[in-house]
Structure 1
Amino acid sequence: MRRIELPAAGLSASQLVLGMMRIKDKTDQQIRELYDLARAAGVDFLDHADIYGATPHQCERRFAEAVKLSSTEREGVLIQSKVGIVTDGPFYDFSYEHIITEVEESLRSLQTDYLDLLLLHRPDPLVEPAEVAWAFDELQAAGKVRHFGVSNHTVGQIELLRTAVTQPLVVNQMQLSLVHAPILTEGAQANTLGQAGPVTPGGGDIVEYCRRHGITLQAWSPYQSPTGVFLDNPDYPELNTVLTRLAREHEVTPVGIATAWLTRHPAELQVVLGTTQGSRVEEAAAGSQVRLSRREWYELLRAAGHRLP
């Protein structure tokens, strides 16, 4: 498993992240087997959120009940959770009270004394940066959260938080896959006659911004398209033809090549796997070690339907 540095935190971590959003209906044995296979493949980074599950914190509780991390095991992994989405609204809440309350419940549910990272899940238009800073300072001082970050945030939203938050923002988790790649492709369309405007206003330079500020990008839904997973999807025949050929040439699977396309980017991003299949984790781990050529990377980009000037 290839490892990367999270420069804003001074941490070393696996380039793949095991996402735990789909484990609510799995047995203890299935969850433990998934965790064990991921660890055997070199994954040491786990992604949670307070909203994962049919009820708040359900997946965090299921993970803790099934895996029962020993103190040694806990020290060997990085656990990340997210707050800020209120599912019975639906709305968003970055208030001091909500952040503190949800983190306390995450710690109880995960049966741990601390989170390695806490992310603000989706932007709250009513955010008061001073309240976020107050919560972050208190959680850090108490040793309950070691590092902080965001998810789905634009440059402007991050800059607003930085007017009050003193801790480095270590991570920005964004949706990114071969098919859904506006944060990578919009910049390539700059100054092109007849091109439509950005589909992610304010987000077109988020990759460059994060690279400049040492913020690690995490790619969620790395195999998704508007019509579901793009692997073996009849809506993407050209892409799957190229994925299959490159998989054969590099002796991995199409999952591995789709992963390698992401890990090839010089931003040194992490790939968040939402699968509950241990074999899929192993395929992605093998692919993360493949170094695609520039020609192969752009061939996949075009095969996924992205136009280049």
Structure 2
Amino acid sequence: MSASPPALSPVVAGLWRIKDWKLSVRERVRWIEQALELGITSFDHADIYGDYGAEALFGEALQAAPALRQRMQLVTKCGIRLRAASRPYRINHYDTSAAYVCAQVEQSLRNLHSERLDLVLIHRPDYLMDAATLAETFRTLTREGKVAHWGVSNHSASQFALLNRQHPLVTNQLELSPLHMDALDDGTLDQAQELGLRPMVWSPLGGGRLFTGEDEQAVRVRAEMRGIAERYGISLGTLAFAWVLRHPSRPCPITGTGRVEGLREAVAALDVSLDAEDWYAIWTASKGHSVP
């Protein structure tokens, strides 16, 4: 069972660090406009980002320029109860109970000044998740017009299948980069292809480690990629996005930058046709050995 996927842009803008960008409301509006001009129409949030404050910062921009909402898809995540000054939990934990998911969706709608969320993901697999109950929560919020589509993030293939059997999911947001390739072997990308659902990919630049990491793997991969990038006439960042985009599951990579130039580098990867040998050269550098 699968659902018709939302029309996400091929590259998605991630808002995890928006609080660190220190942009005024006017600057946030301009940043959104520039992303849209580049064809980035999907914006990825989570309730916990920015110490539970990131969504509201984006929402202030939408409140200042309401017409922008009609030109974008809003994605957010919930399900992690993260300790913070405003949330004095005894311990960080997961919660996919009906009450919590409903409350967080309502809060995200308020934060983002929107009547509907285009896509909501369960942020991490909750070991205490009751799939039938959660699916009923999905149906209720969809029926109420508050959420258009549902998905998950960081779920294994079996965890995805369990919930997808109860309610159709449209994506699994996974980590994938030239420095982190577990998704190539753990069945999650195979499942995405099987179901015809495009995965979303977080940290395609390895959290910046691709550029600055001094560990052996990062040094090897950076050296290999520099030579390839030079041949293609593109930046290292563009090559990293092109490497992710080359996978036949047709991933939607998520940026993590407040720099418009960084957004341009990501979008430039859409025009790169990466040769299979070059893709495997990066794989080999990451693994430290040839294919079997």
Give TM-score, length-normalised by structure 1.
0.85
CA distance in 2, matches of 1:293, 1:142: 47
Q: How does 1:258-269 map to 2 (within 5 A)?
A: 258-269=240-251
CA contact (8 A) 1:31 1:67 kept: no
CA contact (8 A) 2:152 2:172 kept: yes
SS of the aligned residue for 1:35 comes to: helix
Gaps of 5+ in 2: 84-90
The answer for the alignment partner of 1:13 in structure 2 is: 8
SS of the aligned residue for 1:18 comes to: strand
Q: Which of 202, 205, 223 matches 1:220?
A: 202
Q: Does 1:247 align with 2:226?
A: no
Amino acid at match of 1:146: A
Specify which structure has the higher proportion of helix. 2
Q: Percent identity?
A: 33
The CA deviation at 1:67 is 4.2
Q: Which of 40, 44, 57 matches 1:43?
A: 40
The CA deviation at 1:84 is 0.2
CA distance in 2, matches of 1:131, 1:65: 33
CA contact (8 A) 2:200 2:253 kept: yes
Amino acid at match of 1:82: K
Amino acid at match of 1:85: I
The CA deviation at 1:232 is 4.3
The answer for the alignment partner of 2:213 in structure 1 is: 233
The answer for the alignment partner of 1:27 in structure 2 is: 23
Specify which structure has the higher proportion of strand. 1
Question: For residues 252-275 of structure 1, what are the alpha-carbon distances to aligned partners after superposition, in whole Å with 9 as ceiling and x for unaligned?
Answer: 211000110000111100101111
SS of the aligned residue for 2:7 comes to: strand
CA contact (8 A) 1:35 1:67 kept: no
Tell me whether 84-93 or 214-223 shows the greater mean CA deviation.
214-223
The CA deviation at 1:125 is 0.4
Amino acid at match of 1:279: E
Gaps of 5+ in 1: 1-6, 187-203
Task: Give RMSD over aligned pairs.
Answer: 1.8
CA contact (8 A) 2:229 2:236 kept: yes
Q: Does 1:93 align with 2:95?
A: yes
Aligned length, in residue pairs: 279
Give TM-score, length-normalised by structure 2.
0.90
Distance verdict in 2 for CA 1:275–1:163, change over 3 Å: same
CA contact (8 A) 2:29 2:65 kept: no
CA contact (8 A) 1:33 1:278 kept: no
Amino acid at match of 1:111: H
Q: Does 1:84 align with 2:66?
A: no
The answer for the alignment partner of 1:170 in structure 2 is: 170
Question: For residues 47-72 of structure 1, what are the alpha-carbon distances to aligned partners after superposition, in whole Å with 9 as ceiling and x for unaligned?
Answer: 00110112x2x111001113436454
Question: For residues 100-147 of structure 1, what are the alpha-carbon distances to aligned partners after superposition, in whole Å with 9 as ceiling and x for unaligned?
Answer: 000000000000000000100000000011221121111111110000
SS of the aligned residue for 1:169 comes to: coil
